[in-house]
Amino acid sequence: MALKNFAFKVLKKDKFARSGVIETHRGSINTPAFMPVGTQATVKACTIDDIKKTGSQIILSNTYHLMIRPGVERINSAGGLHKFMNCDLPILTDSGGFQVMSLSKLNKIDREKGAIFNSHVDGKKFYLSPEESIRVQLGLNSDIVMIMDECPKKTIDYDLIKKSMDLSLYWAERSKKAFGINRHKGLFGIIQGGLFKDLRIKSLNELMNIGFDGYALGGLAVGETQQEMFSVLDDVKEYLPDDKPHYLMGVGTPSDILGAVKRGIDMFDCVLPTRSGRTGLAFTWEGRINIKNNKYQNDNTPLDSNCDNLNLNKYSKNYLNHLFNTNEILASMLLTLHNINFYQELMSSIRDNIETGTFDKFHDKYIDKL
């Protein structure tokens, strides 16, 4: 049977906020969508079956980590990433550029060779060119592939950001050529340019000339304020193509997501709900809760009475407080699942309010609360 081609359709708009659907041969993804992060072929402390029960329709994994451990050949021997991790959901893989910047002990950027770096695990030297990044992602059998880019640290040095952007555009051309024709997969370009409007627009225009299946904003979530991030989105929202998905990489808090959806973003990923779940921080419709706080020791109410999926409300704050303060593994499992479920309920509510034309009201109610 022929594989379904990658496609995207906008279903409803409420000013710049939009609901839509991404079609892949592994399933449909309703947008705006949040992708739980399964960096090393697992969403920490969760099974794929539990992830699916939250309403998650796609997850993210990472080229950098998987090429270091366990290695692409080992994953290929299992039949690709989906079979390796027993996941039948679509998977988006990041190119590895951000991790080279943030994790590797030593790295050198070469225009032709790409990123030359030493593994943060054992110091082994790796070469990650645009072509190699695409080869690895196709080898993993990713459904959405990200181009190789350079993600600079936050800086106000215009010349440095421009130089990095120009390099990323050169690598974008090479990534597109290496990807070839794969109509049942999506290849996304990554808009760079720091906090500078002219560079962001130039980057977007050049990427649109090359032609991609979706457009991501990179180089954010690297230390800028929320208002700086929103300003970048305001700068580009009128120029982003209507017929392609818009992806804000590495973001973010529920408040970040609300503000970004208002500015035309369709896709998000972030480790925050899972990392917070492992450290005792819960996201609820009434705000954040540090469940390790002593005030919950005798609180037998559920974590969030408004969040009733998965029957998680049968666990009281009292019990969860006990689990965290005795370092029980179940604590991380339950709170991680709760947080992912909350994020998916947030995305569902966002889509519903876009459909009914009430997104601005919903945004204003929760932007400072969540």
Torsion of CA 220, 221, 224, 230, to 10 degrees: 60
Residue 258's alpha-carbon distances to 76, 95, 363, in angstroms, are: 38, 26, 6
Provide the 10 A C-beta neighbour count for residue 261.
Answer: 30
281 within domain boundaries: no
Distance from C-alpha of 310 to C-alpha of 50, rounded to nearest angstrom: 9
Q: Is 323 within the bounds of a domain?
A: no
What is the band of 97 on the pLDDT scale with cuts at 50, 70, 90? confident
Tell me the β-bridge partners of 21. Answer: 9, 30
End-to-end CA distance of the chain: 45
Residue 360 appears among annotated catalytic residues: no
Structural domain harbouring 50: 8-275
Compute how many other C-beta atoms are within 10 angstroms of the C-beta atom of residue 49: 9
Residue 8's nearest CA partner among 97, 98, 90 is 90
Cα–Cα distance between 78 and 76 in angstroms, integer?
A: 5
Residues 27-38, mean pLDDT to the nearest whole number: 98
Domain containing residue 254: CATH number: 3.20.20.105
Q: Is residue 53 part of a domain?
A: yes
293 part of a folded domain: no
- Region 224-241: mean pLDDT is 97
Range 249-259 average pLDDT: 97
Q: How many Å apart are CA 356 and CA 231, to the nearest integer?
A: 27
**Percent of the chain scoring above 70 in pLDDT:** 98
154 falls in which pLDDT band (50, 70, 90)?
confident
Say whether pLDDT at 99 is over 80. no
Q: Single out the catalytic residue among 14, 94, 149, 304.
A: 94
HSE-up of residue 197 (Cα within 13 Å, Cβ side): 10
Among residues 149, 213, 266, 269, the one annotated as catalytic is 269
- Is residue 310 included in any domain, yes or no? no
* pLDDT value, residue 103: 63
In angstroms, rounded to a whole number, what is the distance separating the alpha carbons of residues 345 and 361? 17
Within a domain: 162: yes
Token pair of 124 as six digits: 């082994």
Does residue 263 form part of some domain?
Answer: yes
φ/ψ (deg, to 5) at 91: -125, 130
Q: Is 242 a catalytic residue?
A: no
In this structure, is residue 325 part of a structural domain? Answer: no
Please give the mean pLDDT across all residues of the chain. 94
Amino acid at 90: P
pLDDT of residue 105: 57
Q: Give the dihedral sign, CA 254/255/260/261.
A: positive
Please say if the pLDDT value at position 198 is more than 90: yes
How many domains, the chain? Answer: 1
Average of per-residue pLDDT across 83-94:
97
Enclosing H/E stretch for 202: helix 197-210
What is the pLDDT at residue 106? 60
pLDDT tens by residue, 104-130:
556 788 999 998 888 878 888 888 999
Are 191 and 200 a contacting pair, CB within 8 Å? Answer: yes
Q: Please, which pLDDT band fits residue 171 given cuts at 50, 70 and 90?
A: very high
* Tokens standing for residue 334: 């339950």
Tell me which residue of 44, 143, 56 sits closest to 92, measured CA to CA. 143
pLDDT tens digit string along 315-366? 999 999 999 999 999 999 999 999 999 999 999 999 999 999 999 999 999 9
Cα gap 214→216, rounded to integer Å = 7
221 against 265, higher pLDDT: 265
User: Contact at 8 Å (CB) between 121 and 69?
Assistant: yes
Answer whether residue 1 shows pLDDT above 70: no
